[in-house]
Amino acid sequence: MSAPPVLVFDLDGTLVDTAPDLFTALNVVLADAGHAPVEAEIARTMVGRGARMMITRAFAARGAAIEGAALDRANERFLAVYEGCIADGSRAFPGVEPALDRFAAAGYRLAVCTNKYERLSKLLLEALGLSGRFAAIAGQETFGVCKPHPDHILKTVAAAGGDPATAIMVGDSVTDVDAARAAGVPVVGVTFGYTDVPMQALSPDVAIDHFDALWDAVAGLGRR
């Protein structure tokens, strides 16, 4: 029997609006170093490449550099604070749950491929009642590579029991688009996520403004 088709989703900015809780933790780290908070609209563009990169970019926005042991300490502080507030303000984007249910009922396998740590990803999805919908949840450390490396997607598809030839990536940033391109997987870009470049400018195979449009977008990719 052929493998079922797999939809691979990014997490932050794609499935879940995690910004409120990420910013809580990020601004604690900045305050520890004597820096003012980063404005929400600026901070939203810093999400997607993992906590260390977000911290580095936030310090740069305050005219400061952070690296080495200082970055290690800031990262540990960030993760500790974030774990304590991981689902305080985070919520699935509108239409996520009906869309996931529709694809699951149609025989799709669903998976998460994120540059967030796997443990925190599972903790968040469990807190939101979403974890049971996914055949695989892969974080930045799961396979030893992370997006935009193509193996992050390809190994996630394999872990979900699928075939890359029938897989589709859904994401919100250049990291997702680049990873999908490198993996040879079509990509649906959501326009409501965290990116400093408009999704349409990244040239995904198709862009959607709401999860209600995902079914038709995937169907169109299948026909193509």
Map out the domains of the chain with their CATH numbers: 6-17+90-223 (3.40.50.1000), 19-84 (1.10.150.240)
pLDDT of residue 1: 60
* The pair of three-digit structure tokens given for residue 200, joined into one six-digit string: 């349409």
pLDDT of residue 41: 79
What does each of the 224 residues of the chain score in pLDDT, given as a tens digit? 689 999 999 999 999 999 999 999 999 999 999 999 988 878 788 886 778 989 999 999 999 999 999 999 999 999 999 999 999 999 999 999 999 999 999 999 999 999 999 999 999 999 999 999 999 999 999 999 999 999 999 999 999 999 999 999 999 999 999 999 999 999 999 999 998 899 999 999 999 999 999 999 999 997 55
Is 131 within 8 Å of 125 (Cβ atoms)? yes
Pinpoint the alpha helices (H) of the chain.
19-32, 40-43, 51-61, 68-84, 96-105, 118-127, 150-159, 174-183, 214-223
pLDDT of residue 223: 59
Q: Which residues are catalytic?
A: 10
The sign of the CA dihedral 6, 8, 9, 11 is positive
pLDDT of residue 224: 52
* The pair of three-digit structure tokens given for residue 160, joined into one six-digit string: 């979900």
